[in-house]
Chain A
Amino acid sequence: MDGSSIAVFWLAYTFGIHIILVNIGIALSVLVPYLKYRAKKNNDQALLNFSYKLMRFYAATYGVAGVYATAFTVFLLSFYPNFLGIAGNIALMPFAIAILLIVVHFTAITTYYYGWNRLSDKAHNIAGIFLAISALLIPLGFRAVFAFLNTPKGLYFDGTVARLDLTEALTNPTLLPLYLKSIVASLTAGLILVTGYAAVKYYKTSDDSYRNALKSVVDRGVPWALAGLGLMLILGLWYTLSLRVVEYKFNNIFGPLGWKVGDGTVAFNLSWLLIIKLILYAAQVYLVYVAYTSIKKSGFLSRKEASNLLFAGMLALVTIVLGEYLNAFSQYPYFIADVTDPKIIQSIPPEVLPYLANALNLTNVNTLATLTLVQILTIGFMSFLSLATLYFFYIYFKEK
């Protein structure tokens, strides 16, 4: 493997795990306060127990999600320090929004989790609102950065110093569809996963009140999950249309399928990844639809359909990860997809152009970071720690 392949592999690996956990987290941050509110309102102890179980899972995995994000940042720093230097200088505000909200979210998790049964209902619900809102808003900052990496709207040069006009950056045509698509995907995948888990648990418990609570979660959740999948289609199309301004990226995804913009050059064919993603999406739609019709016709899912619904939730998470990879790699080898656009090139002062071209290219890796010794250590540690992460999940779900 060459240097850039090593770098890209580790970035993709850590980002993938982070994305899976973070999407579960966003969904749980919204679902748990809602379920708990409903349980309290209806005096449903079984539903309360279920929502606490979900919160406990989130509290236990939030740190794991965070640490994989840190790993991603540090790999980025080590393999592409010049890019990170540029990003740090330009993207202060979008990142700052995300960081401040991360701190709020963390405080909300602590308060909500440890405050369960300790705070008054009102105070706890307020903490729940903060938990949900912060979870929904954190991605806005990060998605603003991703949208900037699509096309650097709002970027100006003051002499040789790059500056970002935040207002203009927020009007990036790819930002809103990307953000909304991400949020709806999180909520939908989380909902499928939670309803699937509840359906499977339904068959494993003998406690009638708990079964009723689980059934109500499935009954109410599945239609929303189906609606979320429908909405995903619309938002996906919107994001696709918005990407037409980013020709390089658009053509790499859709060009081989016959949908091209600009000169239609396909530099790095990733249409196969889009096709896999669409197949997985179709499978989810099918499985969730089957669950929906079963509820309508028979009152509840069969044992097999319950397992299939849980499987659909897992597929949804995999689909999200593939979507992220598609979004990121379709601009390979550039950090900013639009950097090859002549208009963008013309806006960059010629004296900084060579440096930027070098720093924004993923094939230019910090050679000190790809030394064999370092990579052997990385493989060893990451294997051990990935297995330990799996073992942790095993311990977590293991019955006493």
Chain B
Amino acid sequence: MEWGIYPAAADRLLSFIGIAVHWSILQYVVGLPLLAFVAELLYLKTGDQKWLKIAKTIVKGFIIVFAVGAATGTASEFGLVLLWPNLTQAAGNYIYFPLYAEVFAFLMEVVFIYMLWYGWEKLPKKVHVIVMLFALIGPWFSAAMIVSVNSYMVAPTGLEPAYDPATGQWLFDQGYPKLLLAVPTDYANILNVTLLQQLGMEVVGQDGGVVLVKMPIRIIERLVYEAWHGYTVQDSILKLVIKPEYLNQDVLNTPVMAILDAILKATVNYVGVTTVTFKSPVYLGSILHVVGSAITVSSFTVLAAYAMRKLQLRRKGVKNGEYYEYVDTFFKFAAIFALVAIVLQGTVFGHLMGTEIAEYNPEKFAAMEGTSQSIFSISRAFGLEKLMAFLGYGSFDAHLPNYDEIPKDYCVCSVTHDQDLARIGDCRPPLFLHYVYYTKIGLAILSGLFVLGVAYYLFVKKTELPEMLLKLALPFAIIIQAVSWMGWVVREVGRKPWTIYGVMTPDVAHTFNPAPTSLVALVAVFFIVILGILAYAVWKFLWLPGKEEVGMEVS
């Protein structure tokens, strides 16, 4: 199993479960407020009580899932601190700003979401719409911050990838991938630049008190490992690249952490303390894709809920009345959102994300496309390689990166090769990604066709939907959640063996005091049980009260 190739398999699995749960929930936290906001605007414009009911219903669902999301988010946050404390420490030191700013977003979410709910009868309509807007901004602001950190982890700012799609050549032998670093002049002066250049480092300029270099990530990774393991220059690879005349006892006793800290702080200062993560080359595509995914999943879920209501009404033979009108309007409203969202997601946001990954994470792209002879490749079997190369690189002449040509040890420093390869496992991402990715794409296309069918009956044919189509709404709500989830898997698992691409591997990020596997398994089971209870609670408290016999959606 490829999962076990990389370090800290059990804790990665626990984090995987925790974050997967959080991911599923946050789809609604980010997606639902937009639907509610639009519904409330329509109410403000038309004065039609139907829209108010729709807005209230969405907000009710939003509040319940938000509360669940906040709890799973807190658990994930603590999980991050406890299982990956060294990653937390690095993030806090160098890319803290979006996490810091996320607090404002989270506060905004909590305060305005509660205000939204308790203010329905107490605030003037227009003020309530403004509160709703803030309740929408909160989760989006939050997403923008967190996704920026995640984007940085996928492709740090200043990354130079190791692949040329025009020639189809990997550039590992030239020292790529490389990362831009700003080395304080004091440190740069004691380094043997000629030797470092032979190892692949490029000096690209000087700016104030720093020398700008493009450093092979295999060197950066090693230094990060040494820093977090308490190395001093005496035992470090740095000793090999410091000019002999500077190798006095003071220098030899200097912790690698102190040197790395100075370089990373100088780099962050040079790039921009508050902007460094937002400049990640995959940020724009990532944030659009995440928000698009949330709106798509939310729309499909609402669509499914009201498809079921429609089925209930149909079975009772109800064809008019206030409740019927309300359900019908809500269903159409959700269908429009679902259609627009999935089209945008597939043709614009997803495509943009894909091109960014193709350019900056070519190793992952190779795994996603399954360009290895060792597996059955779907793209190869269906002759999609040229098309995928075009989609990824904008040219039919471009080449897909060949997975089999990626050296297993491209991320490992040659000086400490065996030791580093033993702890990292394999520098290549896992190939099972190919099947996850293509399953995701296939299911996304099916979901698009489904909602297109719904829209056809609603807005072109303008007739009642076939029962089968209504019945399919629920499976597709689950499928679209699975599509989103698989996208997240491709993004996160596809980054392996890296925790922060080119900088930190899981073995370094991982706690020095891991819990026993049995305890990790127990905690995982605990989370799954709790999730089951919460899912049941949401169903019981959100779905059941919405039934007509219990009353209109929100009293």
- The reply on B13 being an interface residue by CB < 8 A is no
- The reply on B475 being an interface residue by CB < 8 A is no
Partner of B93, one of A95, A352, A366, A377: A366
Docked pose: A95 CA to B84 CA in angstroms: 14
Chain A residues, CB < 8 A from B67: 62-63, 106, 110
B96-137 contacts to A (CB < 8 Å): 96-97, 99-104, 106-115, 118-119, 121-123
Tell me whether B103 and A99 are in contact (CB under 8 A).
Answer: no
Tell me whether A60 and B530 are in contact (CB under 8 A).
Answer: no
- The reply on B546 being an interface residue by CB < 8 A is no
- The reply on A391 being an interface residue by CB < 8 A is yes
Chain A residues, CB < 8 A from B257: 355
Minimal beta-carbon separation of A363 from chain B (angstroms)? 17
Tell me the count of chain A residues lying within 8 A, CB to CB, of chain B. Answer: 71
- The reply on A266 being an interface residue by CB < 8 A is no
Chain B residues, CB < 8 A from A374: 97, 100, 273-274
Partner of A77, one of B96, B230, B540: B96
Docked pose: A163 CA to B514 CA in angstroms: 10
Docked pose: A367 CA to B91 CA in angstroms: 14
Among the stretches A23-31, A82-90, A256-264, A284-292, the one at the interface with B is A82-90
- The reply on A118 being an interface residue by CB < 8 A is yes
Partner of A368, one of B64, B73, B101, B268: B268
Tell me whether B122 and A77 are in contact (CB under 8 A).
Answer: no
A350-398 contacts to B (CB < 8 Å): 351-352, 355, 366-369, 371, 373-374, 377-378, 381-382, 385, 388-389, 391-392, 395-396, 398
Chain A residues, CB < 8 A from B112: 388
Chain A residues, CB < 8 A from B100: 74-75, 78, 369, 374, 378
Docked pose: A17 CA to B227 CA in angstroms: 37
Q: A84-B89, A118-B541 are in contact. Are A104 and B530 (CB under 8 A)?
A: yes
- The reply on B74 being an interface residue by CB < 8 A is yes
Chain A residues, CB < 8 A from B57: none
Tell me whether A99 and B513 are in contact (CB under 8 A).
Answer: no
- The reply on A230 being an interface residue by CB < 8 A is no
Tell me whether A71 and B103 are in contact (CB under 8 A).
Answer: yes
Partner of B107, one of A71, A103, A164: A71
Minimal beta-carbon separation of A354 from chain B (angstroms)? 8
Chain B residues, CB < 8 A from A77: 81, 88, 91-92, 96, 99
Tell me whether A368 and B530 are in contact (CB under 8 A).
Answer: no
Contact with A along B523-534 (1 / 0, CB 8 A): 100110010011
Tell me whether A110 and B68 are in contact (CB under 8 A).
Answer: yes
A74-115 contacts to B (CB < 8 Å): 74-75, 77-78, 80-82, 84-93, 95-96, 98-100, 102-104, 106-107, 110-111, 114-115
- The reply on B86 being an interface residue by CB < 8 A is yes
Tell me whether A388 and B68 are in contact (CB under 8 A).
Answer: no
Tell me whether B106 and A71 are in contact (CB under 8 A).
Answer: yes
Chain B residues, CB < 8 A from A69: 74
Q: A71-B103, A107-B537, A388-B111 are in contact. Are A92 and B530 (CB under 8 A)?
A: no
Minimal beta-carbon separation of A106 from chain B (angstroms)? 4
- The reply on B193 being an interface residue by CB < 8 A is no
Minimal beta-carbon separation of A160 from chain B (angstroms)? 5
Chain B residues, CB < 8 A from A299: none
Partner of A99, one of B78, B85, B90, B114: B78
Tell me whether A88 and B85 are in contact (CB under 8 A).
Answer: yes
- The reply on A279 being an interface residue by CB < 8 A is no
Which of the listed residues B74, B101, B111, B526 has the most CB atoms from chain A within 10 Å of its own CB? B111
Docked pose: A77 CA to B93 CA in angstroms: 8
A199-239 contacts to B (CB < 8 Å): none
Docked pose: A99 CA to B88 CA in angstroms: 17
Closest B residue to A71 using CB positions: B103
Q: Is the interface of B mostly helix, strand, loop or mixed?
A: helix
Tell me whether B96 and A81 are in contact (CB under 8 A).
Answer: yes
Docked pose: A69 CA to B103 CA in angstroms: 10
Minimal beta-carbon separation of A104 from chain B (angstroms)? 7
Partner of B526, one of A85, A88, A100, A115: A100
B239-273 contacts to A (CB < 8 Å): 255, 257, 265, 268-269, 273
Minimal beta-carbon separation of A69 from chain B (angstroms)? 8
Chain B residues, CB < 8 A from A171: none
Minimal beta-carbon separation of B438 from chain A (angstroms)? 35
Chain B residues, CB < 8 A from A161: 512-513
Docked pose: A77 CA to B71 CA in angstroms: 19
Chain B residues, CB < 8 A from A388: 107-108, 111-112, 115
- The reply on A348 being an interface residue by CB < 8 A is no
Docked pose: A177 CA to B92 CA in angstroms: 33
Tell me whether B121 and A114 are in contact (CB under 8 A).
Answer: no
Docked pose: A110 CA to B81 CA in angstroms: 26
Chain A residues, CB < 8 A from B108: 385, 388
Docked pose: A389 CA to B67 CA in angstroms: 17
A112-169 contacts to B (CB < 8 Å): 114-115, 118, 160-164
Minimal beta-carbon separation of A230 from chain B (angstroms)? 35
Docked pose: A396 CA to B121 CA in angstroms: 11
Chain B residues, CB < 8 A from A400: 121-122
Chain B residues, CB < 8 A from A367: 265
Tell me whether A92 and B527 are in contact (CB under 8 A).
Answer: no
Minimal beta-carbon separation of B233 from chain A (angstroms)? 13
Chain A residues, CB < 8 A from B268: 368
Tell me whether A87 and B103 are in contact (CB under 8 A).
Answer: no
Closest B residue to A56 using CB positions: B118
Minimal beta-carbon separation of A124 from chain B (angstroms)? 13
Partner of B88, one of A60, A88, A91, A103: A88
- The reply on B445 being an interface residue by CB < 8 A is no
Tell me whether A92 and B513 are in contact (CB under 8 A).
Answer: yes
Q: A66-B70, A114-B537, A400-B122 are in contact. Are A85 and B85 (CB under 8 A)?
A: yes
Closest B residue to A59 using CB positions: B67
Chain B residues, CB < 8 A from A392: 111, 114-115, 118
- The reply on A294 being an interface residue by CB < 8 A is no
Which of the listed residues A82, A85, A395 has the most CB atoms from chain B within 10 Å of its own CB? A85
Tell me whether A389 and B111 are in contact (CB under 8 A).
Answer: yes
- The reply on B166 being an interface residue by CB < 8 A is no
Partner of B86, one of A85, A111, A355: A85
Closest B residue to A104 using CB positions: B530
Docked pose: A204 CA to B527 CA in angstroms: 45
Partner of B103, one of A75, A92, A162, A369: A75
Tell me whether A67 and B106 are in contact (CB under 8 A).
Answer: yes
- The reply on B75 being an interface residue by CB < 8 A is yes
Minimal beta-carbon separation of A395 from chain B (angstroms)? 5
Which A residues form the contact surface with B (CB < 8 A)?
Answer: 60, 62-64, 66-71, 73-75, 77-78, 80-82, 84-93, 95-96, 98-100, 102-104, 106-107, 110-111, 114-115, 118, 160-164, 351-352, 355, 366-369, 371, 373-374, 377-378, 381-382, 385, 388-389, 391-392, 395-396, 398, 400
Q: What are 20 A-B contacts defined by CB distance under 8 Å?
A: A62-B67, A63-B67, A64-B110, A66-B110, A67-B103, A74-B102, A78-B96, A82-B93, A86-B85, A90-B513, A92-B83, A95-B82, A107-B530, A110-B537, A114-B541, A161-B513, A355-B230, A368-B97, A368-B269, A385-B104
Which B residues form the contact surface with A (CB < 8 A)?
Answer: 64, 66-68, 70-75, 77-79, 81-86, 88-94, 96-97, 99-104, 106-115, 118-119, 121-123, 230, 255, 257, 265, 268-269, 273-274, 511-513, 515, 523, 526-527, 530, 533-534, 537, 540-541
Q: Which are the 10 A-B pairs with shortest beta-carbon distances? A: A88-B85, A81-B92, A85-B89, A114-B541, A106-B71, A381-B104, A77-B92, A78-B96, A385-B107, A67-B110
Q: A107-B537, A111-B533, A368-B269 are in contact. List 7 more A-B contacts (CB 8 A).
A: A71-B107, A81-B88, A85-B86, A87-B85, A99-B79, A115-B541, A366-B92
